[in-house]
Structure 1
Amino acid sequence: MVPECRVPPARPAWLPELLAPAGDWDCVRAAVENGADAIYFGLELFNARMRARNFTVEELPALMEWLHLRGVRGYVTFNTLVFEPELPQAEALLRAMMVAGVDAVVVQDVGVARLVRMLSPDFPMHASTQMTITSAAGVDLARELGCQLVVLARECSIPEIRRIQETQARHPAGRPLPLEVFVHGALCVAYSGQCLTSESLGQRSANRGECAQACRLPYGLVADDRPVPLGDRQYLLSPQDLMGLELLPELIRAGVASLKIEGRLKSPEYVANVTRAYRQALDRLAAMARTPEELPPVWNVDPETRYGLEMAFSRGLYTGWLRGIDNQALVHGRFGKKRGVYLGEVVRVENGSVILAAVGPVRPGDGVVFDAGHPEVEEEGGRVHAVEPVGRDGSDVARLRLRFGHGTIRWARVRPGQKVWKTSDPALERSWRRSFEGDQPRYCRPVIMRVRGQAGAPMELCVTDEQGRSVTVRSALRLEPARDRPLTPEVLQEQLGRLGGTPFYLAGLECALEGSVLLPFRELNRLRREAVAQLERLRKEPPRWTVRAEPVTGPRTRDEVSADGPAPAPGVPAGPALTVLVRSMEQLDAALNWGAETIYCDFENPKQYPAAVERVRRINAGRSRPATIWVAGPRICKPGEEWILRQLAASRADGFLVRNADQLYHFHGQRCVGDATLNVANHLAAAFFLERFGVERVTASYDLDADQLEALVRALPPGRVEVTLHQHMPMFHMEHCVFCAFLSQGHDYRDCGRPCEKHRVQLRDRVGALHPVKADAGCRNTVFNARAQTGAEYAGRLIRAGVRHFRIEFVEEPGDEVVRTLSRYAALLRGEIDGETLWRELRLVHQLGVTRGTLRRG
């Protein structure tokens, strides 16, 4: 039996694209058969979900043919950093995409974006959310790189999206770049592209698709050296999952061009259910309004849809940051894994069964779990065998007895008061799977048919699809005058509309036959089949992108680097020099007294910068070799935060440690150093910042090990790459504020009482390490690794490669430790001690020890 074809309604131009995830072929079918306009997927390399099954390069042509036949676009996620030795491999992969007819590539790495444009002037490119774009300046940067669409950071609210759109509308380049936002799925607590947690703790970089999900683990909160009692709230960094379904009218009015569903690691059933929910909502909105302004102000999610979304995957559903910041609501802290639908509380346990105060639906066969408040340990749960009503016990809440298979539940571990969650609904899961099983198309695309002809001539059938492609076929037999049963529009509609088993449905028929004529039905059927076959072949043809024939990457000699790379930096020291990053006035004084010559100030409050600059100027008056002071801004800049840039400028510092697009544009023409937040991993990325913005040098990405770092340094003139040799790695960088969420009753900075100004806060992990938490001027939090790391053993090798600036970063170290650390690293650079000796010394003087860091793999 041929499955019924689901027919989409006509859609207005203002309706956003619906973009669904696909980790494998089943997910592709699940997305397409449930109404996705486009899918995004990864190949076996360079994608941010390396744990997904992904696709091979060999599969790519067939996959794109199948998608284009079904009227669906396919975007390849190339959204990781690419190291210098990998550039030829990246080039080969990009060429394969272009030849296969991929509709767009989604990139994180600025160097990869440049590589795309070196290879092709017209291959579509999207800026990944891994680019951490939160402002109009970020969009401008993506435009300069040649992107055609920008995926905004998940932390952008709808008002901020509107402001970005408004600023774009005034851009001299003209038409604003389309914006894409995530509307459903897991939320990363850290900014994508700025999370170094997995790299810091286990050398599994999120910027390389190997996130270990440390945000989903339990943490303790320590304020001013005392544990903060939080009860059952242990998952302090695990946000609820995003659900933006109720905000679709607002997102459409904000001008969002594409709505993205997260989930390349999720099941095909999840993809099917979530895609269908958003497809149905979008189509209903399209049917009720001619313009976005006519859409209803509020869009309510019906209980059945919400139930399905919770069952598909849910850690709790919330609107994320789309409505703005609410730190209390974003992270409930009670669990960090899938729960599903809340069923109620255990009233009592008796006779191998449980009495439930039920607030949710439960049936035999459903899977449930008993929540004892400790989700980090194995929990009791199983399939329900029987459900029996037992009355209400004087309560408005129904009481149900749930029975389970013998031996499946250890009843001694189940207690009254425990919460019960439904984690599986087999009947619902079967219905999701039926929506995409088999080879027959279920979600069909419209075609228009036109017939014309006259007696004595062949009949002509023209078929046009929704994308404007047309084919025309002619009958082998001539039309004859009809004495009875002529080809009326109704007859033609009946015969030509038999499109079962194809990805089409007949949306309209124009009949231009002259007089009363007929043609045998077998010939009509042959015409229809031939036209459909031709149209299918036409739809499968890949788009033709311009591709440069000559290779553009490969090993480069020093002479080639000098000839075609950025110019050598002015004033590069002949030998290695230390730069120092401090985060307090005490550390600044210590660095100055020690004799530091290049100091970066990274204070939480930029209003302190003028005083810091003045202090350096005063000390310089008595020094033969004056120190330069550079000030750093926050890692993130959002609309409305331009005051921070003005504060930095007003400090009259010698230069700026720039961390994002806003700072690159604002301080262009002044002395600047690019920080590690720019994610420079190859010479193409480095050259962009060095040449386009004139930064004196760039700080290498913290994702590089020693071999990769050396390859990057050798691909650039000496002195153009700064290396952080000693630091507490900044792990999580979050819009979420731990101070507000767990040390106040407020929702954001307006009503939290600013506990960040009163308390010193740390997160205690499962092994007892205390990771410092700092808040910046935008109320964003950074969690620093408790243990410092050193690359001291690689200093000599990097000096020989061409590194001239080595950075030492401090977080909470007292002044005497700053002096001691700087003295020992200065001795290292002078050759008085070796790297291993310094590492062993540092291990002895640091309470938690010092790791060898991410430069050392394995």
Structure 2
Amino acid sequence: MAELGLGAPRPVAGYSLPATGYFHRSLPTVTVPRVELLAPARDLAAGLAAIDAGADAVYIGATRFGARASAGNSLDDIAALVQHAHPFWARVYVTINTLLRDDELEPARQLAWQLHDIGVDGLIIQDVGLLECELPPLPLIASTQMHNHTLERVAFLEQVGFQRVILARELSLEQIRHIRKHTRIELEFFVHGALCVCYSGQCAMSYAIGGRSGNRGECAQPCRRRYSLLDADGNILVRDRYLLSLRDLNLTPLLDDLLDAGITAFKIEGRLKDSAYVTNVVSHYRRELDRRLAARGWRKSSTGESKIGFEPDVAKTFNRGYTTYFARGRSESPGAVDTPKMVGELVGRVVAVDRTSFELDGDCAVRPGDGLCFFDDSNELCGTPVNAVHGRRVVPNRMDGIRVGRMIYRNHDHEFLTRLAKSRGWRRIAVCLRLEETPEGFRLVVTDEDGNRATASEAAGRVSAERPEMAMENVRRQLTRTGGTPFVVTDVRVQWNEPRFLPLAVLNRLR
């Protein structure tokens, strides 16, 4: 089977490559470890946003057989995502990770070949019955739905041909280190996003209650509903709480520990999340991982630098509060039993109220357009938008339930989300240009950040420039125009015997 190691993107059958030829760049052979940041893609828009924000890879569902049945995508959209990702050496993995009926094995096999033909980089699967099928030469990734929680299971998957396993979220750092010590297979681990109250891939609750199986991509999320807790005698100990709802995972503080433990693919959960969420979370982890990789002399697995127009903050987009779950052991409670919704950040306590407004203690950071929430006397989460703010006094759209002493939270930061929505992240590969004089005319040498080099020559008369400074400025201005390519020129060097006049047509042809 194919290796997951990066190489030149495979040809995309049925889809034309850009005439610029930049798909034919080669990634240099390096000995330093390469680490992957893997992002979810609900749809093409989210996938493009993830790549532009700096993801090294994305995972996405196809038309059928994905563990998120409502997040399927056409082959044309997946092909478009591949076309966008591959110039940056970013990969696209596709999920075929439901349990399959016998009559679905052949359609799943055909889908795998169709995905191969449009250039995807790997398949995430759960049903090992697919191993009995004639699959295309694509890397196989063992889905977390396979409950990869022991050394024995991971070693078995390595022996039968998987190139990577997605480890169970329930593992501790010590358990991950143990698995890494005794296997060579690539290890992927979730570092951010929603958590299931049941063991990874082992939940039958949705199917038992309503006939919708999570292993068929149809989980109804019964763990986000209210329950009451009774003792053996039927006495109600806790009434109508979200007893099975967990907080969301955030392993930002443990990224170094996970690198030390042998994780090489850091995965963000969220194939039902929108593009704004993906952009914010990917940007956050790109920054955090890059700092740690630079300190070690390691590299990310893709290329190109992303620019964003906002400061990422994972507290500002949807979350149920954060936990490190079991990575540090089971000393903390991961529950979010008050609500499965986003509560957000505490902004203050109500110290005074009147008919139309209330006053908060401390410095008030609330702004018009924000969304505020609070727990009422029945411990129900209530909310209201903000109409106006005057110092510490807030004028909400509704005053119902707001009392002195009430703790107020912000779960919609209007200013941040507006900046996020307006942000047009872009990603470019740095190139250096060197213009040289030759006996026949001129030569342009281009070297990208991965060490790839291209040369173009042009026969032209060598005419001395009457205005040397203007001639040099024209050269720099014309050569740095990269148009719609994924490149940005970071340096232009000119080597000639004396300043020359070069017609714009010559410079454009060289470029």
Amino acid at match of 1:473: A
Amino acid at match of 2:50: A
Asked if 1:119 corresponds to 2:127, the answer is: no
Gaps spanning 5+ residues in structure 1: where? Answer: 1-9, 169-175, 293-303, 390-399, 530-858
1:313 match: 318
Asked if 1:368 corresponds to 2:375, the answer is: no
Question: Is the 1:479–1:518 contact (alpha carbons within 8 Å) kept by the matching residues of 2?
Answer: no
Asked if 1:424 corresponds to 2:424, the answer is: no
CA distance in 1, matches of 2:211, 2:493: 63
What is the percentage of aligned positions where both structures have the same residue? 36
CA distance in 2, matches of 1:199, 1:240: 23
Asked if 1:290 corresponds to 2:294, the answer is: no
Larger radius of gyration: 1
Asked if 1:261 corresponds to 2:276, the answer is: no
Q: How does 1:655-670 map to 2 (within 5 A)?
A: none
Structure 1 counterpart SS, 2:349: strand
Is the alpha carbon distance of 1:329 and 1:425 closer, same or farther for their aligned partners in structure 2, counting shifts above 3 Å?
A: same
Question: Is the 1:155–1:321 contact (alpha carbons within 8 Å) kept by the matching residues of 2?
Answer: yes
Q: How does 1:335-354 map to 2 (within 5 A)?
A: 335-354=339-358
1:190 match: 198
Structure 2 counterpart SS, 1:68: helix
Q: What whole-Å deviation, never above 9, does each CA across 1:79-99 have from its counterpart, x for those lacking one? A: 111111111211121111100
CA distance in 2, matches of 1:12, 1:506: 27
Q: 2:509 aligns with which of 512, 527, 538?
A: 527
Question: Is the 2:173–2:327 contact (alpha carbons within 8 Å) kept by the matching residues of 1?
Answer: yes
1:435 match: 423
1:136 Cα shift? 2.2
1:501 Cα shift? 4.1
Question: Is the 2:465–2:501 contact (alpha carbons within 8 Å) kept by the matching residues of 1?
Answer: no
1:86 match: 104
Amino acid at match of 1:208: R
Question: Is the 1:447–1:463 contact (alpha carbons within 8 Å) kept by the matching residues of 2?
Answer: yes
Q: 2:285 aligns with which of 278, 284, 302?
A: 278
Q: 1:109 aligns with which of 117, 121, 127?
A: 127
1:315 Cα shift? 0.7
Is the alpha carbon distance of 1:332 and 1:125 closer, same or farther for their aligned partners in structure 2, counting shifts above 3 Å?
A: same
CA distance in 1, matches of 2:245, 2:210: 19
Q: 2:172 aligns with which of 144, 157, 162?
A: 157
Structure 2 counterpart SS, 1:182: strand
Question: Is the 1:47–1:209 contact (alpha carbons within 8 Å) kept by the matching residues of 2?
Answer: yes
Is the alpha carbon distance of 1:126 and 1:452 closer, same or farther for their aligned partners in structure 2, counting shifts above 3 Å?
A: farther
1:243 Cα shift? 0.9
CA distance in 1, matches of 2:150, 2:165: 11
Q: What whole-Å deviation, never above 9, does each CA across 1:784-805 have from its counterpart, x for those lacking one? A: xxxxxxxxxxxxxxxxxxxxxx
Is the alpha carbon distance of 1:493 and 1:244 closer, same or farther for their aligned partners in structure 2, counting shifts above 3 Å?
A: farther
Compare the two structures and name the one with the higher strand fraction: 2
1:496 match: 479
Is the alpha carbon distance of 1:94 and 1:139 closer, same or farther for their aligned partners in structure 2, counting shifts above 3 Å?
A: same
Asked if 1:130 corresponds to 2:132, the answer is: no
Q: 2:386 aligns with which of 384, 387, 400?
A: 384
Structure 2 counterpart SS, 1:339: coil
Moved over 6 A (4+): 486-491
Question: Is the 2:321–2:343 contact (alpha carbons within 8 Å) kept by the matching residues of 1?
Answer: yes
Q: 1:47 aligns with which of 56, 61, 66?
A: 66
CA distance in 2, matches of 1:77, 1:202: 24
1:488 Cα shift? 10
Is the alpha carbon distance of 1:305 and 1:522 closer, same or farther for their aligned partners in structure 2, counting shifts above 3 Å?
A: closer
Q: 2:163 aligns with which of 148, 152, 165?
A: 148
Is the alpha carbon distance of 1:218 and 1:71 closer, same or farther for their aligned partners in structure 2, counting shifts above 3 Å?
A: same
Question: Is the 1:114–1:145 contact (alpha carbons within 8 Å) kept by the matching residues of 2?
Answer: no
CA distance in 2, matches of 1:373, 1:144: 57
Gaps spanning 5+ residues in structure 2: where? Answer: 1-27, 300-309
Q: How does 1:54-73 map to 2 (within 5 A)?
A: 54-73=72-91
1:373 Cα shift? 6.5
Q: What whole-Å deviation, never above 9, does each CA across 1:531-590 have from its counterpart, x for those lacking one? A: xxxxxxxxxxxxxxxxxxxxxxxxxxxxxxxxxxxxxxxxxxxxxxxxxxxxxxxxxxxx
Amino acid at match of 1:161: I
Q: 1:210 aligns with which of 206, 215, 218?
A: 218
1:580 match: none
Amino acid at match of 1:248: L
Structure 1 counterpart SS, 2:341: coil
Question: Is the 2:367–2:414 contact (alpha carbons within 8 Å) kept by the matching residues of 1?
Answer: no
Amino acid at match of 2:197: V
Q: How does 1:303-702 map to 2 (within 5 A)?
A: 308-326=313-331, 328-357=332-361, 361-372=365-376, 379-389=381-391, 400-405=392-397, 409=398, 411=400, 413-436=401-424, 442-449=426-433, 451-457=435-441, 459-465=442-448, 471-475=454-458, 477-478=459-460, 480=462, 482=464, 485=468, 495-499=478-482, 501-507=484-490, 513=495, 515-516=497-498, 518=500, 520=502, 522-523=504-505, 525-527=507-509, 529=511
Is the alpha carbon distance of 1:450 and 1:320 closer, same or farther for their aligned partners in structure 2, counting shifts above 3 Å?
A: farther
Q: What whole-Å deviation, never above 9, does each CA across 1:441-469 have from its counterpart, x for those lacking one? A: 72212335455551324x33344545666
CA distance in 1, matches of 2:353, 2:235: 35
Is the alpha carbon distance of 1:486 and 1:159 closer, same or farther for their aligned partners in structure 2, counting shifts above 3 Å?
A: same
Is the alpha carbon distance of 1:510 and 1:177 closer, same or farther for their aligned partners in structure 2, counting shifts above 3 Å?
A: farther
CA distance in 1, matches of 2:204, 2:462: 75
CA distance in 2, matches of 1:245, 1:373: 35
1:77 Cα shift? 1.5
Question: Is the 1:447–1:507 contact (alpha carbons within 8 Å) kept by the matching residues of 2?
Answer: yes
Q: What whole-Å deviation, never above 9, does each CA across 1:170-203 have from its counterpart, x for those lacking one? A: xxxxxx1111111111111212211111111111
Question: Is the 2:280–2:314 contact (alpha carbons within 8 Å) kept by the matching residues of 1?
Answer: yes
Provide TM-score, normalisation by structure 2. 0.83
Amino acid at match of 1:224: A
Question: Is the 2:465–2:471 contact (alpha carbons within 8 Å) kept by the matching residues of 1?
Answer: no
Is the alpha carbon distance of 1:85 and 1:13 closer, same or farther for their aligned partners in structure 2, counting shifts above 3 Å?
A: same
Question: Is the 2:176–2:261 contact (alpha carbons within 8 Å) kept by the matching residues of 1?
Answer: yes
Structure 2 counterpart SS, 1:19: strand
1:270 Cα shift? 0.8
Is the alpha carbon distance of 1:84 and 1:261 closer, same or farther for their aligned partners in structure 2, counting shifts above 3 Å?
A: same
CA distance in 2, matches of 1:267, 1:76: 18
Amino acid at match of 1:188: C
2:8 match: none
Amino acid at match of 1:35: G
Question: Is the 1:107–1:113 contact (alpha carbons within 8 Å) kept by the matching residues of 2?
Answer: no
1:58 Cα shift? 3.1
Compare the two structures and name the one with the higher helix fraction: 1
Asked if 1:20 corresponds to 2:57, the answer is: no
Amino acid at match of 1:290: G
Amino acid at match of 1:527: R
1:811 match: none
1:492 Cα shift? 5.8
1:129 Cα shift? 1.0
CA distance in 1, matches of 2:278, 2:286: 12
Question: Is the 1:48–1:210 contact (alpha carbons within 8 Å) kept by the matching residues of 2?
Answer: yes
Amino acid at match of 2:282: T
Amino acid at match of 2:177: R
1:708 match: none
CA distance in 2, matches of 1:388, 1:269: 30
Structure 1 counterpart SS, 2:70: coil
Question: Is the 1:34–1:435 contact (alpha carbons within 8 Å) kept by the matching residues of 2?
Answer: no
Amino acid at match of 2:121: D
1:534 match: none
